[in-house]
Amino acid sequence: MKLFEHISDNQFKLCEDKENTFISKIEEQEALQFIRSIVIPYAVKKWNENSPQHWQLTRKDISFNLHRLKRTKNINTTDVIIYSAFVKLPGNRKAHQFRFVTYKDANGKVRSGVATGIWNNNTSDYEIIDEKGNKIVRVYFP
């Protein structure tokens, strides 16, 4: 992708991307706030319902350890940012990893969700959550 397009002699025009595929820093911060306020409580609720040992988590357990894992470019959804949080539960040697995703869909809307592998053993599936805390779609990111 070219940044400038040559018009004539010494004139150039900035090439503007027709599709807004990049997640800006402001959108990333808004999405992170959305993850902390809506998606993490959804993940905690799901975990507490499906936990085999019935250990109860709180939002603070996950929010405290949340960090950005990677940022990639995906063909289907454009920018993808993956967050991760490790939570060590009492009596376990290993910590459980909670993964969250933020991406921009085909309509240019920033979406966020949680990996469902925590409770159904498929770490590449993500449940995307709306503003009211309801699951709207399940997506796959390899």
60-64, 72-76, 122-126: segment of lowest average pLDDT = 122-126
pLDDT grade for 77, boundaries at 50, 70 and 90: low
Q: How far apart are CA 132 and CA 123, in angstroms?
A: 24
- Residue 1, pLDDT above cutoff 50: no
Query: Is the pTM of the predicted complex or chain greater than 0.95?
Result: no
Q: How far apart are CA 91 and CA 110, in angstroms?
A: 38
Structure-model confidence comparison of residues 52 and 79, the more confident one: 79
In the chain, % of residues over pLDDT 70:
70
